[in-house]
Amino acid sequence: MPITVSIVEDNDQLRATLAQVIQRAKGFQCVSHYPNAEAALEGLSKDRPQVVLMDINLPGMNGVECVRLLKQKLPDTQVIMLTVYEDTENIFNALAAGATGYLLKRTSSAELLAAIKEVVEGGSPMTAHIARKVVQSFQKPVPAPSPTEELTPREKEVLDYLAQGFLYKEIADKIGISYETVRTHIRRIYEKLQVRTRTQAVAKALGR
């Protein structure tokens, strides 16, 4: 049985070319093609193709929203985005909406047919450049924790007064604790921030 494919593409010439490529390929059948999302949502429920090639920039409803609604109607139909957009936002919006693959329109006919076959067999075909972007998005360095995260609320309060230039005795009066308790808090602040002076402690707390 041939793999049944539908196309949603507003460019008449490209839509016709894609339909011709699929129809002429052995083991594939183009069952329908649509110029916009609205017509596609109405017709695909009857066509029930195995794979849909979906453009993003469509007149009216865009392709990403079309995928979201289509997957509600046909959860088993696999959708491959076929678009010129290669920015991270569009990629992840499409994948989050339910697309299984993401190809750029410059993909060759042979690669496109291979991707259709791959998605039917359980794969997630992506243009190499797109796949690299997806991988890189998961490899972003984890931001370093703030130096003050280990400080207690009281120690943060004392450090804040230090940063404002208050003396130990003034800090004690402000908070309502003894002078010695202030010194103890400051000693612990220095230990946790791994500094030796007020200036170093304030600079580290401010990320300098």
Please write the tens of the pLDDT for every residue from 2-37: 999 999 999 999 999 999 999 999 999 999 999 999
Residue 54: band (very low, low, confident or very high) from pLDDT cuts 50, 70, 90: very high
CATH fold label, 153-205: Arc Repressor Mutant, subunit A (1.10.10)
Domain boundaries, the chain: 3-137, 153-205
CATH fold label, 3-137: Rossmann fold (3.40.50)
Show the tokens assigned to 63: 């392709």
Domain 3-137 identical in fold to domain 153-205? no
The answer to pTM > 0.75 is no
Rounded to a whole number of angstroms, the CA Rg of the chain reads 30
- Amino acid in position 117: K
CA 53/CA 26 separation, integer angstroms: 18
